[in-house]
Structure 1
């Protein structure tokens, strides 16, 4: 498991976004590693002081785009 995936899972847990029905570890590892670095596509994470401070994961629902997860560490506000 990559640093970015571990940090994002911890971040989502801190923000109360993890639900038993969601398999966050099932997210395509290549997508996390590539997109978090380039900040393109459906996954963005903003790192601050070597810590993930904000994160957004988007997806498709039929023909509509939607935000699946949106989180921010309160101390980053």
Structure 2
């Protein structure tokens, strides 16, 4: 296998790892919110913060793809 293939597999694996970490964090937060009887406003704030973190990670990936395509990065 060529080095480019290894780099691609490494990128895909790292992205899947981060996606699974976000999933498990979400499941843990859901469990804590349910057992702690958090009010609805607090639940919305917690999920908003988690969503913004995930959206930032996705935006970083999209920006990186565009920059590499344009030859900037």
TM-score by length of 1: 0.25
Greater fraction helix? 2
Which of structures 1 and 2 has the larger relative contact order (alpha carbons within 8 angstroms, sep 6+)? Answer: 1
Structure with bigger gyration radius = 2
TM-score by length of 2: 0.26
